[in-house]
Structures are given as C-alpha cells and as structure tokens.
Structure 1
Amino acid sequence: MPWIAGYPREKVNWGPTIDGEKCVGCGMCLNCGKNVFRWRDGKSSVENFFNCQVVGCSTCANLCPAKAITFPDLEAVRALYKKEGIWGKVREEMIKEGKITG
C-alpha cells in the first residue's frame, strides 16, 4: 500500500471515532468500502479501526450530517511520516509502480 509504504498500519493512529450522542443513525458512514463500521442498535459504531486504510481520508466525517465522526490530529500523522521517513518510501513506491517519474 503506497500510502504507508510498508510501515505497519497498526502503528499509524488514523481511523474514525463516532460520538454516539451526536449520531443520528443515517448510516451514511456504512458506505465506506473498507468495512470499518457496523450497524448496532440503530446507529453506526467503529468496529475495525485499522481497516481505515487510506491514511488521511476523512470522507465519512465530511459526509456525516450530524458531524458525529472525528479523526485523530492530522499533524500527528504528518509528524510520524517525517520521523519514520514514510514520505520518501511512498515516493519510491510510486516511482516503482509507474505512477510518477523519478
């Protein structure tokens, strides 16, 4: 997966949290194709935090009409990418896959 270029996904704190008090039970977040959410008692819940595999994606939060979904601080993720050299590794993977030129 180029977004983290072999770095262990479990070490990247990125995934949604749902505030059950705010959730209106619309089910919009269940459209996520990564099987992150489950329907429980008329509302969504996060069942597979690390299935949120596109680090930086927050589409579910952007579409939530109740603004019940939040994500960790993106600056913390950027700091991790810098510290672990992930950006350089992602670039190498993108070149290897022919998505960009070196």
Structure 2
Amino acid sequence: MSDPSGRVPHIDLEWGPTLDAGACTGCGACIEWCRHGVYRWTEDGSRVEVEVKTRCVVGCSHCATLCPEGALSFPTFEEIKRLRRGA
C-alpha cells in the first residue's frame, strides 16, 4: 500500500541497487551523491559496497547514472511490477 505522498514503501516492494563489484573502480560518486546511507566503502577503502539496500528511495536511481563504469543497476519498471508483493 502506498503512503499519502505517493511513494511505494519498502514493505510493499523489495527494491534497491545491485552493485557489480568487479566493475566498480572505487570512484565514490555514488557515496558522495546518496544522502540515505545506501553505500559504504569496503573495509580496505578500495571499493564501494551496498550497506543497506532498503535505505534507497524507491524509484531513485540517480547514482547509477553517475557511475562512470556502469557498476550500478536497478530493476526495470517491468521488474518492479513483478516484485510488488501480492501483485
């Protein structure tokens, strides 16, 4: 069920970024841009990893457009429809 703002809560939709760790060069653009704490540096500080996927705002994928290596991906709208619980 959506909240009054029109956003889809994570309880209704399991959605967030997928990171291709092999493609990530550790530029940090996603960490710098995301204010929600979705990403963090790996323990050795050389790469980025997804810390808490559900902190990602449903529908936001701006970090993927910032990634110069294309290491971040999000579900397509068709995949989102399939991911909706009870749909």
Q: TM-score, normalised by structure 2?
A: 0.77
After the TM superposition, which of the residue ranges 70-79 and 29-38 deviates more from structure 2?
70-79
* Structure 1 Cα separation of the partners of residues 81 and 29 of structure 2: 28
Say what the alpha-carbon RMSD is for the aligned residues.
1.9
**1:35 aligned to 37, 51, 54, which one?**
37
* Structure 2 Cα separation of the partners of residues 52 and 10 of structure 1: 13
Greater gyration radius: 1
* Structure 2 Cα separation of the partners of residues 38 and 12 of structure 1: 23
What's the counterpart of residue 54 of structure 2? 50
Structure 1 residue 19 displacement after superposition: 0.6
Task: Return 5+ residue gaps in structure 2 as ranges.
Answer: none
Task: Return 5+ residue gaps in structure 1 as ranges.
Answer: 84-102
Query: How many pairs align?
Result: 78
Please say if residues 56 and 74 of structure 1, whose CA atoms lie closer than 8 Å, have aligned partners that are also in contact.
no
Structure 1 residue 74 displacement after superposition: 2.1
Q: Which has a greater percent of helix? A: 1
**1:72 aligned to 66, 71, 75, which one?**
75
Q: What pairs with 1:1-102 in structure 2 (closer than 5 Å)?
A: 2=5, 3-4=7-8, 8-30=9-31, 31-40=33-42, 41=44, 42-53=46-57, 55-78=58-81, 80=84, 83=87
Q: State, as a whole percentage, how many aligned pairs show the same letter.
A: 41
